[in-house]
Structure 1
Amino acid sequence: MSDTALRTPETAQLPRFAWREVSIVLAVQVAVLSALSGRYGFHRDELYFIAAGKQLAWGYTDQPPITPALARLSITLFGETPVGLRVVATLAAAGTIAVIALIARELGGGRTVQWVSAALASLGPFAVAVAHMLSTTTVDMLIWALLGLAVLRLLRTGDGRWWLAVGAVIGLGLANKWLILLLVSGLATGVFAFGPRGVLRSVWLAAGVAVALVLAAPVFLWQAANDWPMLTVASGISGDDGVENRILFIPMQLVYLTPVLVPVWAAGLVRLWRDPGLRWARALAVSYPVVCVELLALGGKPYYSVPLLIMLLPAGVRPALDWLSRGRKASRRGVVTVFGVIGLAMSLVTGLPLLPPSSLNGPVLAINKEPGEQVGWPELTDSVAGVWLQIPAEQRAKSVILTSNYGQAGAIEHYGPAIGLPKPYSGHMSYADWGPPPDTMTGAVIVVGGQPTLSPSLTGCRVVTKNDNGIGLENEEQGTAITLCSGTTAPWSKIWPSLRRFY
């Protein structure tokens, strides 16, 4: 079957894109995110991305290179501040919402459906929280949306040249986060099972595969040369959190986009399956249950499937709007408005830095712990500096600061030079690859956190103080012990492997 033969009159023409309405949605989103990007401070992962961006490589222990490279680009152009770093996060979030509007158009949605889809996709708690800060997920949401759009365009038109775009997006996705393979498997299952299978016979398919392999090759070669550390990290996460992830998986699917939007994405799932005019798009409907089953089997985190939920929203907006226009319209719209306002308030309060940091304890951190991880890093660095000054001045040149995790190391690396602290070291994730202290560093050792103190190679250790963020915020670093050790029993090059941690 030729590519042209796959086209149908019903799908040949699309509504005009709602440039004005969608642009207004994007402008509001960008304005809000930009206005709040300087509130609180860096997230622990952002501090790690900054450090990784200064050590550019084709791969890292726990991630491919795109997000660290974007962090490097953003702070180079806009400054090493939360505002400067988050410019790229804001742009990625806006790009995701624009693509969601294009998906709505691809599914036949008119102007109203397009801008409503964009607005709803930007307002869920998870989407708001991820848009506020730079993370691999921030970038991944854009990449998943782009892949969904490219595949839908391929399936709708039958134009095999879209395989090149599909391959390019998959290749870029593999250079950011390997979770893109979940979406690939879900969409592939849908196409194989329910069609249109004609696209699989296109001569362009091989070219698309080649594009994906070329783009992803440096990442896989780096991982292979370094014994596939990302697989070790993934195995550790599944082993540590797999049971909890499986228990929470279904409940969290109902929460991430707010319960208010569950009927919308559920209607989208049903519509993609039952609407004869969208039969060609069934693969998108099939991909969600396939990805969910895979995540349950692997013990993956529940939020890994959220980008798919967001892609289902555009399919459900038209049925939702039709429902609102039937029957008791006033009462239906009133109920939706009340619950919508409640859901929006929850999204903004839990996802954006609106509250004073001292008010985060309680429901906010119970729903979303990430705001707490953006508070207290300067105070932690000051606590370490206080212990550093207890080391005799003549010993400091040979003394070491050793941290338990990359967040602590990233904070000291960022804030420490201004108050006289040296470069920190850590055995956590890629910090372990960036090297142990030189063997000539035979002075005292400040240990931040508890894990390294378990090493018998550190001697004369005593807890000097515990970190206090000053506002009683119960985040991960509140109460972190800061220990002073007299030295080591062996050169750093010998003990370093025992300090390495993959999760």
Structure 2
Amino acid sequence: MIERSPIARQPLAWKPVGAVAVGAALMLLLTINRYDYHRDELYFRMVGANPKWGYVDQPPFTPLMVRLCIDIFGDTVWAIRIPGLLFVAGAAILLALVAREAGGGALAQTLAAAGVWTTFPLVAGHITLTSAPDLVMWLLVILCLMRALLQDRPRYFLLAGLFAGLALYNKHLVILLLLTFAAGLLIAGPRRVLLSKWLWAGAAIAVVVGLPNLLYQIANDFPQISMASALAENKGDDARITLVPLQLLWLGPFFVPVWVAGIVTLLRRPELRPVRALAVAYPLMLVLLFVVAGQPYYSFGLLAALFAVGAVPTARWVARGGARPWLLGAGVVVNCGVALVSSLPVLPIDVVGRTPIPAMNQGISDEIGWPRYVAQVKAVYDDLPAEDKPQTVLLAGNYGEAGSLDRYGKPLGLPDVYSGQNELWYLGPPPESATVVVLVSQGDPTRSPAFGSCVEKAKLDNGYGVDNEEQKARVFVCRDRKGTWAELWPSLQHFD
């Protein structure tokens, strides 16, 4: 298919790479139970209890993984975070393998693996999100593409297709990688690869493996298109403004020269010409994300691979001696140290609110205050007349509030909680017997067409001085429902 690459792969540096991977996993383990659930984890906990081939806002893998962890290890914060540290450790090894494919030795592989000690991987590994499994799947696809092209082993296209198909069950973002890589081949070559039967066979495998997920989308009128449209409308401007700046921060500012070197190396080194499409794919991906108002982190899997490639020329630069090893070492320590403090809950919870960390990392702020918020809602419920309580339900404005009330409210004797956001709307409306609603909302329900009366009873406060979405929420008691729940429920649906 192509001329065999002259690149000789070095042995995998198992000891230093393994130390980096285990160290990252250990750090995640040490902080696994600090603070509290993230709002997305509370959401996955709820929707995962209703197994489906897909959900309105995402494929099934992460919610079902959360439910499986709960079933095996128990309904705790640490239980659902175990997969994250395993994904991050796996990503460290995969980054080292990408550097190895590009000709990197022990130092390059170790530096590449250290990419997981940066902001985005640490956040994705600490909080159970779709990002960590997506990173692993993207790196697997990229590694297979590199082996197919650099080592002239086209059968790896089949494996790339398998991983791409499996990735569709976590997020559909891998399509973005495949499209921009194909465009990169058209622009930078080798174009004849696009005629390879192995490449098309791999594409067919991806379609077949991901077919059930696609059929779910078709059968349900492509709900994720509706979700993407809602995200673009609600967060599109912010996504476009922060797209480029966040590319400079995901791996840390000291690592920017490394991934830039990866792009330059792919474009300039003759032995890497078969995969220079990866370098072209990255700016194409950024342009596409800007046009569709995609979230800035969508490109991270490819950015991480470029960093791993850039570790190879960086290691050669260090090998020239002098002060270079010290400069690299200092840069890695500072870069990774800042990432640790800003990405993981290492500071005491009553201190972090007095630092800029919650403003820098929304993941931290969204882990704080849930038990206190639930206790404040319970105080409102407890003040209701005894005769009202059997007809009372909880209604939450967003899935974080709903998830926290479901997790912490039931042991306290609170009634069932409902929400119109995303997949929670599909769980159905309250029973028609529910005539009293304890509503948690950031809006003004006094103008709601659903209730004749809504009286504010409390304002939520986490007590730690951490500004998050719930700090703006109020608790209301609403009565005089204007219609049946079946009639009102469609008006309460919202995507965000």
Measured against the shorter chain, the TM-score band is over 0.9
Alignment of 1:222-261 (within 5 A): 222-261=216-255
Tell me how far apart the structure 2 counterparts of residues 301 and 9 of structure 1 sit (CA, whole Å).
Answer: 36
Match of 2:32 in 1: 37
Deviation at 1:306, TM superposition (A): 1.7
Tell me how far apart the structure 2 counterparts of residues 335 and 438 of structure 1 sit (CA, whole Å).
Answer: 65
Match of 1:211 in 2: 205
1:196–1:360 CA distance, 2 compared to 1 (3 A): same
- The answer to whether the 8 Å contact 1:129/1:350 transfers is no
Alignment of 1:299-318 (within 5 A): 299-318=293-312
Kindly provide the amino acid, as one letter, of the partner of residue 446 in structure 1. V
Tell me how far apart the structure 2 counterparts of residues 293 and 199 of structure 1 sit (CA, whole Å).
Answer: 24
1:72–1:452 CA distance, 2 compared to 1 (3 A): farther
Alignment partner for residue 383 of structure 1, among 363, 372, 376?
376
**Greater displacement, 302-311 / 359-368:** 359-368
Match of 1:448 in 2: 440
1:353–1:209 CA distance, 2 compared to 1 (3 A): same
Match of 1:122 in 2: 116
Kindly provide the amino acid, as one letter, of the partner of residue 295 in structure 1. L
What are the Cα deviations for residues 188-247 of structure 1, in whole angstroms up to 9, with x where unaligned?
A: 112223333343333333432222122222222222222222111211211222222222
Alignment partner for residue 429 of structure 2, among 430, 436, 442?
436
Alignment of 1:162-311 (within 5 A): 162-311=156-305
TM-score when normalising by structure 1:
0.94
Tell me how far apart the structure 1 counterparts of residues 421 and 222 of structure 2 sit (CA, whole Å).
Answer: 16
Match of 2:333 in 1: 341
**Greater displacement, 160-169 / 381-390:** 160-169
Gaps of 5+ in 1: none
Alignment partner for residue 42 of structure 2, among 10, 28, 47?
47
Alignment partner for residue 86 of structure 1, among 81, 85, 95?
81
The count of corresponding residues between Structure 1 and Structure 2 is: 494
- The answer to whether the 8 Å contact 1:438/1:493 transfers is no
Percent identity between the aligned chains? 39
- The answer to whether the 8 Å contact 2:5/2:150 transfers is no
Helix, strand or coil: the match of 1:374? coil
Deviation at 1:257, TM superposition (A): 0.9
Alignment partner for residue 64 of structure 2, among 48, 64, 69?
69
Deviation at 1:321, TM superposition (A): 2.4
- Give yes or no for the alignment of 1:366 onto 2:359: yes
What are the Cα deviations for residues 449-482 of structure 1, in whole angstroms up to 9, with x where unaligned?
A: 1348242121221110011112222121124200
Alignment partner for residue 342 of structure 2, among 345, 350, 374?
350
Helix, strand or coil: the match of 2:387? helix
**Greater displacement, 400-409 / 185-194:** 185-194
Gaps of 5+ in 2: none
Kindly provide the amino acid, as one letter, of the partner of residue 207 in structure 1. A
Deviation at 1:74, TM superposition (A): 1.7
Alignment partner for residue 104 of structure 2, among 93, 96, 109?
109
Kindly provide the amino acid, as one letter, of the partner of residue 448 in structure 1. V
Kindly provide the amino acid, as one letter, of the partner of residue 449 in structure 2. P
Alignment of 1:407-446 (within 5 A): 407-441=400-434, 443-446=435-438
1:283–1:486 CA distance, 2 compared to 1 (3 A): same
What are the Cα deviations for residues 107-157 of structure 1, in whole angstroms up to 9, with x where unaligned?
A: 1111221122102x1121122111111101121111111111111111123
Tell me how far apart the structure 2 counterparts of residues 42 and 452 of structure 1 sit (CA, whole Å).
Answer: 27
What are the Cα deviations for residues 277-308 of structure 1, in whole angstroms up to 9, with x where unaligned?
A: 11111011111111011011112222221221
- The answer to whether the 8 Å contact 2:372/2:461 transfers is yes
Helix, strand or coil: the match of 2:438? strand
Match of 2:4 in 1: 8
Tell me how far apart the structure 1 counterparts of residues 339 and 10 of structure 2 sit (CA, whole Å).
Answer: 31
Tell me how far apart the structure 2 counterparts of residues 487 and 105 of structure 1 sit (CA, whole Å).
Answer: 67
- The answer to whether the 8 Å contact 2:81/2:126 transfers is yes
Tell me how far apart the structure 2 counterparts of residues 208 and 338 of structure 1 sit (CA, whole Å).
Answer: 43
- The answer to whether the 8 Å contact 1:194/1:282 transfers is yes
- The answer to whether the 8 Å contact 1:406/1:428 transfers is yes
What are the Cα deviations for residues 11-52 of structure 1, in whole angstroms up to 9, with x where unaligned?
A: 4x4221122222111111111111110011110001111111
Kindly provide the amino acid, as one letter, of the partner of residue 88 in structure 1. P
Tell me how far apart the structure 2 counterparts of residues 430 and 9 of structure 1 sit (CA, whole Å).
Answer: 48
